């Protein structure tokens, strides 16, 4: 039996479908199409809830696929978007159907879609907010970075440190790469080359490397449970970036 569109079900029908899936008799096969992001918390993916009792096939679109889909959809809609807006939407974990809905809504304004439009009109993920935090922190805008970090901690006290420190390490990694002779950016970050090259000149290779290593150590301390206060780890890393 094949069940399609489980991601479109409301809470109670999803709960009933899960109960059915947990009681499938031996020798029978139940295939469920559930296009919920693997990282989603509400609703949680049915495959995750079923655990080892189910075989999961992840069809999540990667950043490159999402970016191509966005460009094709924007061309179809006769709209354009700034690179920062595309990057933010590419980091979002919504499915492609929801992404198309967001683009259609954003395109109604007529002008080129900006990052501010995306943040105002769509349900962005923690990764996008974390990306904003990291950009501000590495650029030395500590007050802005801390405000963004504390906003995330306010909504997710236990889980906010991981995306924040991961984004900080990634941002420092890009600046470190640009500070080295012959350094080059991955295609997804090419649109930021001028900005990152300026930061690389300001920080230098040594400071960029130290910032990257500090963010990685903080990330490891949080995910391994060695850090008693994850928010303090983020605050200290942010303060160090401003020096």
Domain coordinates in residue numbering, the chain: 2-53, 63-121, 126-241
Phi, psi at 31, each rounded to 5°: -105, 125
- List per-residue pLDDT tens for the chain, 243 residues long: 888 888 888 888 899 999 999 988 888 889 998 877 776 777 888 888 888 878 877 666 677 788 888 889 999 989 998 887 887 777 666 677 778 888 888 888 777 888 777 766 655 556 778 888 999 999 999 999 999 999 999 988 888 998 899 889 989 999 999 998 888 888 777 888 889 999 999 999 999 999 999 999 999 999 888 889 999 999 999 998 866
pTM (global) more than 0.75: no
Question: What is the spatial distance between Cα 34 and Cα 45, in angstroms, rounded to a whole number?
Answer: 7
CATH topology of domain 63-121: Helicase, Ruva Protein; domain 3 (1.10.8)
**What residues contact residue 20 under an 8 Å CB cut-off, 6+ apart?**
30
DSSP conformation class of 33: -
In whole angstroms, give the CA distance from residue 92 to residue 106.
15
| Residue 43: half-sphere exposure toward Cβ, Cα within 13 Å | 19
Q: Which two tokens stand for residue 103?
A: 């683009």
Helix (H) or strand (E) holding 3: strand 2-3
CATH node for 126-241? 1.20.272.10
Q: In this predicted structure, what is the pLDDT of residue 156?
A: 85
Query: In 3-state terms, what secondary structure has residue 214?
Result: helix
- Crossing angle of helices 126-138 and 230-241, rounded to 10°: 40
pLDDT of residue 185: 84
| 140 three-state secondary structure | coil
């Amino acid at each position: 039996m094949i069940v399609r569109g489980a991601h479109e079900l409301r809470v109670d029908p999803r709960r009933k479908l899960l109960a059915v899936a947990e009681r499938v008799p031996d020798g029978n096969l139940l295939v469920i199409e559930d296009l919920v992001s693997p990282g989603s918390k509400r609703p949680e993916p049915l495959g995750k809830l079923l655990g080892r009792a189910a075989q999961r096939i992840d069809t999540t679109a990667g950043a490159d696929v999402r970016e191509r889909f966005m460009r094709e959809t924007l061309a179809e809609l006769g709209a354009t978007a700034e690179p920062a807006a595309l990057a933010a939407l590419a980091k979002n974990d919504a499915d492609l159907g929801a992404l198309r809905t967001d683009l259609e809504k954003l395109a109604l304004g007529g002008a080129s879609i900006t990052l501010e439009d995306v943040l105002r009109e769509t349900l962005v993920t923690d990764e996008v907010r974390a990306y904003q935090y990291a950009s501000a922190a590495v650029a030395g805008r500590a007050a802005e970075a801390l405000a963004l970090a504390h906003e995330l901690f306010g909504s997710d006290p236990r889980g906010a440190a991981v995306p924040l420190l991961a984004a900080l390490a990634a941002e420092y990694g890009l600046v470190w790469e640009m500070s080295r002779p012959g350094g080059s950016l991955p295609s997804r970050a090419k649109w930021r080359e001028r900005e990152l090259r300026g930061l690389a000149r300001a920080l230098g290779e040594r400071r960029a490397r130290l910032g990257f290593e500090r963010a990685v150590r903080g990330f490891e301390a949080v995910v391994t449970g060695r850090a008693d206060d994850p928010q303090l780890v983020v605050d200290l890393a942010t303060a160090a970036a401003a020096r």
